[in-house]
Structure formats: C-alpha cells, structure tokens
Amino acid sequence: MSSLDLHVDGYLDHLKVEKGLGLATIEAYARDLAHFARYANEHGGDLADIDTATVSGWLVSLSQGGLGARSQARYLSSLRGLFKYLVAEREIARDPTELVDAPRLPRKLPAVLSREEILRLLDAPDDTKPSGVRDRAMLNLMYAAGLRVSELVTLELGDVNLEAGFVAAFGKGRKRRLVPIGAEARAHVTRYLGEVRGRWAKPGERGLFVSPRGRRMTRQAFWKIVKRHTRGAGIAKKISPHKLRHSFATHLLQGGADLRAVQTMLGHADIATTQIYTHVTGDHLQAMHARFHPRGS
C-alpha cells in the first residue's frame, strides 16, 4: 500500500468519525479517491511527488474516458477535500489542487413559457372571487416586473407606486431597484387594493399581498397558487413561480430590449448572469433572421 493509499484511508476515517458523514457519502468519496490513487500510483505516485501537473493529467484522463464535466467536477471536489485535510494535518506543505481550474459546467438554460402560455396563465384566476382578484394581481405584477418570488411576497404597500408606474424591489443583499410596470399590472393591483386587501388585511399589516387570514402571503402559498392556475390554464409544462421571471427576461430580449436594461430590471450584479437568456432567445433570433434578411433562407 502506497503512502497515498494510507492517507486516503486516514481521511475517510476523519470524515466518518470527526465529520460524522453518512456511509453512502463516505463510499462516494472512497470511490473518487481510489480512482485518483490508482492514477497517481501508475504515474510514480508517492504523496510527495503529486503536483498540479499530476492532478491536471488525471482530469484529462477522466475526460478522455468519457466522463462528463459535472462528474469531473465532483471527482475534483473530493480530491480538494483530501488535500485540504493533508495540509491541515501538515502532511504536505501545499495543496496541488489549488491552481487547478474546475471543469466548466454547461449552464442549464432556464425553462420559459411562451407568450401565449403566459397570457393564459395570467388570465386563469377567476376574478369574480376575491382570491382570484388577488391572484391576478400577484401573477401580473410578478411577470410585469420580473420579480423573484421572495421579492414579490415581501413587497409592502409603499413599494408600489401605481401613479408613476413602478415597483421598488429589494433583491439579494437588500439591494433596492426600481422596475417599471405596465398598465395591465397596475390595473390589477389597483383593483386588488380597492376591493380585496382592505377587507382582508389585519390592522398594522404592511405586506402588500395578504391571505384571507389577513397576514402577508408566503412563498409556499404563492407556489401553490401558480401550480393551481397552471393546471387551470391547461399548461402541461412543469413550471414554478421563478419561471415567470425567466419568461419576463426572455420575452423582453425577444422584443429587442437592451441586455444592460434587462440586467438592471432583473437586479443581476453581473451581466454574465443575464446573458444566459441570450441563448434562450437564439432560436427566435435565427427565425427572425431567416424571415427578414435578404439572404436569410
């Protein structure tokens, strides 16, 4: 047994005894690290000889063996844990994984609703009932402003200026941003405030959207609202409240909105986060090009 194998065994004991990890998790670490130990032993693998080139070569071998980027990243994460432990135990002076970049993971494109599906969903609540009036206001406002669920349910009365047509959303890190809202959303929120909220809200409640019990709506309650009205609109896609935000961004870009403007409205600190939506709109742009460019088809 090589010195590396012994250290792997010691690390696994550490995870079991001191970290209290479950058997299945430890077995997963053991498989990942055993794979690296075999590679290192085949390439002259005493612990002292392992360097950044060894780790990089191992990742290349994983890729050549057909392992996907996500699995490679998991293997590397297991190895980082081992070497972090060995540095802490003063078995080695430097972590050889420190300068190794994790494999680039493919970004999962957000699922979105079509414009027709969005309209069906927004019109699904029965607005002859107080709950339907509230639900229409919530759905329309969320889609109109591209709000996160947490932003929607934490809105207070003073956060929506219906006369000027904007909503003040508080995003991650409590960063405040102003987002314009159109006439349709304003009309639904105005009706909700005039017909429903005053009857339901308990004295002193500042939340904009409330339940019949008079208290602020929760994320869980709104998720159920979206699920119920999705079924009612006959939409077969599996959707969550966040998909209204994805749809908001996608539809703006499809309509020709500036990427920086969409970034601002979404409250993204990094434009790279917003750029994911440019991939979603790729098919739309290709169709537009084929339709209108003289040499498009």
H/E element, 36:
helix 23-42
Q: Is residue 184 part of a domain?
A: yes
Both tokens of 276, joined, read 């994911």
Whole-number Å distance between alpha carbons of 115 and 41: 57
What residue type is 31 in one-letter code? R
| Shared domain check, 137 and 71 | no
Q: What is the residue range of 71's domain?
A: 3-88
Catalytic residue among 14, 227, 242, 284: 242
Catalytic residue among 29, 85, 143, 277: 277
pLDDT at 104 > cutoff 90: no
Q: Is residue 211 part of a domain?
A: yes
pLDDT at 222 > cutoff 50: yes
H/E element, 62:
helix 52-64
Quote the pLDDT of residue 164: 94
- Tell me if residue 277 is catalytic: yes
- DSSP label at 210? B
Residue range 185-201: average pLDDT? 98
Q: What percent of the chain has pLDDT over 70?
A: 90
Catalytic residue among 216, 245, 246, 251: 245
| Shared domain check, 120 and 262 | yes
Q: Is residue 101 part of a domain?
A: no
Q: DSSP readout, 97-159? A: TTTPPPPPPPPPPPP---HHHHHHHHT-S-TTSHHHHHHHHHHHHHHHHT--HHHHHT-BGGG
Place 30 in a pLDDT band, splitting at 50, 70 and 90.
very high
| Shared domain check, 178 and 56 | no
Catalytic residue among 172, 199, 260, 289: 172
Place 228 in a pLDDT band, splitting at 50, 70 and 90.
very high
Q: What percent of the chain has pLDDT over 90?
A: 59
Q: Which of 150, 146, 152, 184 is nearest to 165 (CA)?
A: 184
Q: How many CB atoms lie within 10 A of CB 267?
A: 21
Catalytic residue among 16, 84, 268, 284: 268
| Shared domain check, 56 and 163 | no
- Tell me if residue 245 is catalytic: yes
Place 275 in a pLDDT band, splitting at 50, 70 and 90.
confident
H/E element, 161:
strand 160-161
Q: How many CB atoms lie within 10 A of CB 27?
A: 12
Catalytic residue among 148, 197, 216, 251: 148
Residue range 122-147: average pLDDT? 97
Both tokens of 43, joined, read 């390439």
H/E element, 178:
strand 176-180
Both tokens of 123, joined, read 């019109």
Quote the pLDDT of residue 289: 47
Total number of domains in the chain:
2
- Asked if 11 and 82 touch (Cβ cutoff 8 Å), the reply is yes
Q: How many CB atoms lie within 10 A of CB 130?
A: 15
Residue range 243-250: average pLDDT? 89
- Tell me if residue 279 is catalytic: no
25 forms bridges with which residues in the sheet?
none
Q: Is residue 97 part of a domain?
A: no
| Shared domain check, 207 and 84 | no
Which domain CATH number covers 242?
Answer: 1.10.443.10
Whole-number Å distance between alpha carbons of 46 and 4: 6
